[in-house]
Structure 1
């Protein structure tokens, strides 16, 4: 069965005329309402990103997830992602184990390097250690999840000697995913560890990721992991409305403004409507339109990649809260039932 859910970064609205940024308090309260609705319409999971910038509301996904655990009943609650390279794996495990206990076993942790670098100087890490930090901390996080007490020695923190890491997640196990972009080494590492992978497909043609999916599945199988437990997903920018062209026209200014804000710091050329329109085409990376278009595209991506999970990233640029709520309703009530029905065949 294909799991269907939503990922969010907690983007804050920025007035295009004045540059005024939405209140973080207001956005956090809206996010909790949105997660509550996701649960009510029967979506399978929610993921919250971690950022340390003025245009994002959430620096600690686990706090949002803890709050959401008290107003939801069934939906899985995870990060998307926790920036593992600049985080202490011991504290991260403790925080998510606490969310797991609060939610009665619905917590997940998705580890990633993150697409921004602000957390490195903020928490005292050197960017030259970018890759080494992630690899060492991922290995430690997996070890903490698999055994307690723990003995461990590494390069970037003091050794752990017969140390209890408490509290423990329900059933003494926390689901851990790894988020990857297009890096071959990251895909192979996850496959060797037997961890589920979420591919972030946020540009270009989604079919181009096919070789990476095959590489991951091969690494997973070659390292003796149980193929019956194989899980893989995609994270794609998405938004839904009643009328395809209307929702595209309404969302484009919001989406392009955020792409340009990010692009300005990375040397990207201005975002063009032609990019947006290609993204919405059958071969593009965007799932933006009406329910029928979304159903067709999600099922096509599932078939090509053998997906077990589809994550719709729905708050790029921070659409209005009422529009987010409407999109969530369409996803849960119109898209998800049809995708699930077709996935059984």
Structure 2
């Protein structure tokens, strides 16, 4: 069975350390409070989702996104409160459920957990896990989490997790089940796993022509149908920067996105991003950079080509100023989203 819905629009942040108007780095605490304020703004603008990533690195302030979401829950009314992602492999599925069930209670049912293996591995040694068990840890923990979501007494025999005998896990949710997604970067095995457990799929498209992910969406739907699982609408997230003009946005994005990706790349053996690579991503890849009109046209085209029902814009990469970040959110909510909706409505 296929679930249909209108297209949703979200914002994702990894908790990048921001700067003030003089270029001075904010403290971790100031950056966390900034994200809360940005989520409040997004809620007021009618943006559907705020997603917060989990990282354990110096350039990111947020290592406990559920705690930040709990703070946001008490200051917002409508926006869905998500992670982007929760690194389940290095966490305890029981505690993940409990934290999100608590956020769900505080927000009157707006919590959304997005599970993933994470693109960074710092959390594994930090929490005492062996990277040699990278695959096995996620396989076992996502299976355990799927059982916990049933909110029934749990019998579980674990190898990398605790063993439980008819244990109830609290608090229970009012709806009876947490809204659960899995973030996937492009592995067919991960797509199949997501469909197998009946979870929703979020594609992390960080570069290249997004149309190449069409085959993964088809695979997700095909496997879900074969297994008799719900066929949920698929979402995607990608980086972007919106400003008053294309030129201003491109200049800011080149400066900040390059800084972010080059720093990550140094630990992974990547060559530094060239201007040509950056411009190619802006023109034909999956960077959404430009004025509100330019970004709206590109988002609408991607949604139409891929058939996704949710688009999350990743904002704030690479030490952007608080004012630049606020401007992105305002333009996204006030101009980009309405324009995308109008373009898509004309195409029906």
Same fold (TM over 0.5): yes
2:146 to 142, 155, 169: 142
Equivalent position of 2:319 in the other structure: 318
Which of 49, 58, 68 does residue 54 from structure 1 map onto? 58
Runs of 5+ unmatched residues, structure 2: 1-5
Task: Give the structure 2 partner of residue 280 of structure 1.
Answer: 282
Residue 104 (structure 2) aligns with: 100
1:67 to 44, 67, 71: 71
Q: Distance in 2 between matches of 1:336 and 1:330?
A: 9
Q: Is the 8 A contact 1:8 1:313 kept in 2?
A: yes
- Is this contact kept in 1: 2:18–2:316, CA < 8 A? no
Check whether the contact 2:151–2:172 (CA below 8 A) recurs between aligned residues. no
Deviation at 1:261, TM superposition (A): 0.7
Where do 1:246-257 residues align within 5 Å? 246-257=248-259
1:1-345 matched pairs, under 5 angstroms? 1-13=6-18, 22-227=26-231, 230-281=232-283, 283-344=284-345, 345=348
- Contact preservation (8 Å) 2:45, 2:334: yes
Conserved? CA contact 1:84–1:113, under 8 Å: yes
State the alpha-carbon separation in 2 of the partners of residues 303 and 317 from structure 1: 29
User: C-alpha deviations, 1:88-132, integer Å up to 9, x for none?
Assistant: 000010000000000000000000000110000011101011111
Cα distance change on mapping 1:30 and 1:10 into 2, 3 Å:
same
Q: Report how far residue 68 of structure 1 moved.
A: 0.4
SS of equivalent residue, structure 2 residue 111: coil
Indicate conservation of the 8 Å contact 2:113/2:180, yes or no.
yes
**Contact residue 293 and residue 339 of structure 2 kept, 8 A:** no
Q: CA shift at 1:71, angstroms? A: 1.0
Greater Cα shift, 287-296 or 32-41: 287-296
Distance 1:310 1:112 in 2: 18
Runs of 5+ in structure 1 lacking a partner?
A: none
Query: TM-score, structure 2 length as denominator?
Result: 0.94
- 2:110 alignment partner, SS class: coil
Task: Work out the CA distance in 2 between the residues paired with 1:334 and 1:35.
Answer: 17
Conservation of the 8 A alpha-carbon contact between 2:151 and 2:168: no
CA contact 2:239–2:313 (8 Å) conserved in 1: yes
CA contact (8 A) 1:97 1:170 kept: no
1:138 and 1:102 map into 2 onto residues whose CA distance is 25
Contact kept, 8 Å, 1:235 with 1:312, in 2: the verdict is yes
Tell whether the 8 Å contact from 1:9 to 1:58 is kept in structure 2 after alignment.
Answer: yes
Q: Provide the rounded CA distance (Å) in 1 between the counterparts of 2:173 and 2:65.
A: 17
State the shift of 1:342 in Å: 3.8
- How far apart are 1:194 and its partner, in Å? 1.7
CA-CA distance at 1:254 after TM superposition = 1.3
- The 8 Å contact of residues 251 and 319 in structure 1, kept in 2 or not, is answered as no
Identify which range, 86-95 or 154-163, moves more after superposition.
154-163
